[in-house]
Structure 1
Amino acid sequence: MTTSVVFNPFVPSFKKNPYLQYGRLRAAEPVHFSAALGAWVLTRYEDCVAVMRDHETFSSDARNAGGPIAEVIARQRQQSNLSRADTILGLDPPRHTVLRALVNRAFTPRRVQELRPHIEDIARTLLDEVGDEFDLMEALAQPLPVIVIAELLGISPDDRLQFKEWSNAIADTTNLLQNEAMQARAQQATLELVEYFNRVIDAREAEPRDDLITALVQAEEDGKKLRREDVLAFCILLLVAGNETTTNLIGNMLGILADRPELWRRAREDRALCEPIVEEMLRFDSPVQGLARFATRDVELNGARIGKGDIVLAMVGAANRDPEAFANPDAFDLERGGGRHLSFGQSIHYCLGAPLARLEADIVFRALLGRFAEIEVGEGGIERGGTLLLRGPAAFPVKVSRSK
């Protein structure tokens, strides 16, 4: 199939609103090879689901990648001293099944729910510091997830600024073929994180505590335990994925609400709307825009011939706006009901952190509603950040009117 439509995520207009390019691409060539990315880009809901469910053909393990990206990945793993480590995000069965079962032993719904009062305290403390004009990202959306993850792991929240720097550097790798400076920063950040978490794991092995790192060290399934490298890899994954995605989730949610003052007023009058608003926001402007898979064999998908080793990007942000899956997809509609969006993935790789992300978004939303009668975008407007696979504001000045 040939098309005149060119997918270029590096133009400024894409960062501002990727959904226009997604829509044109979906209509013209839903399985599209992007020369700019060196990867296949999927924009249909049905195709994205098919790829995420077929882990035998479309692997999550980047070691199945071909071309320049394979060299980058191999070098990063070797230089970070994690060349033997596995993460549940980048594995296929049967190893994925074993590792996920072990992590599930430690990262339980009960442990997440027990964080609620702590997260409420964190949100309250952060909001106590703001005036009537402040940057939402700097004051709330960026620090809160890092503090929460530190609390969950059982490490000092005083290190949160350093955590944020490490997390940002590693998250830049979602640009796929990033430049050498970005690669170097990510590698250095990973090395420093490995050194940091190694010290913490040593301490927990010597003196266990009631925290996630201790639970990971002690987790056992059918006589099997997590290797040191796997505990390290999961801690880094949780820090980066849990930090960046939740920060983006909060920023995107408030962007939608600031643009819809009537929705803010409705939610202040009826807190039962908080949950459906968060779910529709996840569909409408997902903090995770795409997930990478790697073809293990030559395969045809929706008329396109994908080669072994090719990178396949399931653009869940585009899938969530597919008119074949969602009626009037470009409208923010609380009546459509949640649950079908792909923002937390699909199948065996459905996001383990989804309950925590939803919990944090709900708490932040309720905390803001309780304090502020109105919220609007401040001077300078929203500055878009993110990468190809992540979407969220870099800066978000707001002006608020306080509740009386």
Structure 2
Amino acid sequence: MTILADLLSTMFERRYRTPGQGRASGRPVEALMADLLGSAGETSELALAQDILGHYASLDDAGKLAFLRHMAHDMNIDPETVRSALDAYEQAPSKLSYRAFMTAAEPQRQELIRRLNRVPGATGALVRMRADLLRLAGDDPELAALDLDFRHLFASWFNRGFLVLRPINWESPAHILEKIIAYEAVHAIHSWDDLRRRLQPQDRRCFAFFHPAMPDEPLIFVEVALTKGIPGSIQTLLAEDRAAINPETCDTAVFYSISNCQAGLASISFGNSLIKQVAADLSGELKGLKSFVTLSPIPLLTKWAKGEGIELPQEPDARRALAAHYLLNAKGRGDAPFDPVARFHLGNGALVHAVHADADASDNGQAQSGGVMVNYLYDLAQVAVNHENFATKRKIVASSEVTSLAKTGANAMTAER
């Protein structure tokens, strides 16, 4: 972690009054929202924002939905005003006409969200508000547009320059460790002993991104195993009787679990920066590391196979071949890979390195992919080129072994049909 990141983290390690503990107000929340947008004084603005956030926190789902619909409908842009402002700018481009267009084109709700965020501790409350929006919106088009405003603002507030990378270890505060257990989304942590096995041994690491305005809430974290060689089974990595090895003798860093922690930050990308930062930090610490790989689930393999009218093969090599074909050839929206984990890692510039049968014996692993897992390899010298080719041409880079496996899987599918 850089000195600047340390300073930022320390500066924001404070305890604020939680939104929801503001002064009581009997006025309708819609009136408070209008007053907040018209407020010119900092003290009154903070009090109004506190009242609004407190009111929202007290609502049930029906009340929250009504609050969000008010933002979406009554605080939207006026298309006619936008058209007039654009016409005026087109006829006489100037600083003033452009400013008028910008003002007309930005819905009031964006400024409302900004002003709400001036309350100490409000950033987390707004992240939770967006989580409610995603949960309650359904197919309402106005609420979908409101979500774009949240995403627009959060993309700025949570950009890489504001994030602090912290190591998580067995000596980390208990309330942080409890959240690691709760937020683990790939391989469930079943007990404190299970967590200890992932954090305490010298060949295990964990890193998380935090935001200075949410110092006690990890945004995303990655669990790392330092190994000799590239592993092909999660059971091996997480075995209770595993003997730890000296990190100085390891040649591979395995990112075996990456978990997003905040539902309200969905679609705000942190994973790319996290993996690259952790890889860079580990490279600087351990000079013997040569390979940076994942051991990743294939969460939609079974679902895809059923959609194709086939069952996953019982024979391990046939299952590997089908999985390889799926990873390289199954397409979703926009000709992107069907598999979300594949989209993530290939979009970051990784390549499909190896596919393993019987790699995940858990109930979840069996249900998702018949236990098949995949290594994505981050070749730090090639990730930029791979990323560019994937982004512009949807080109998927894979090892010769995986490419050959995929051909076998494709031929087997053709023969079965």
Q: TM-score range by the shorter chain?
A: under 0.3
| Higher CA-based Rg | 2
TM-score, normalised to structure 1's length? 0.23
TM-score, normalised to structure 2's length? 0.22
Q: Which has the higher contact order (CA 8 A, sep 6+)?
A: 1
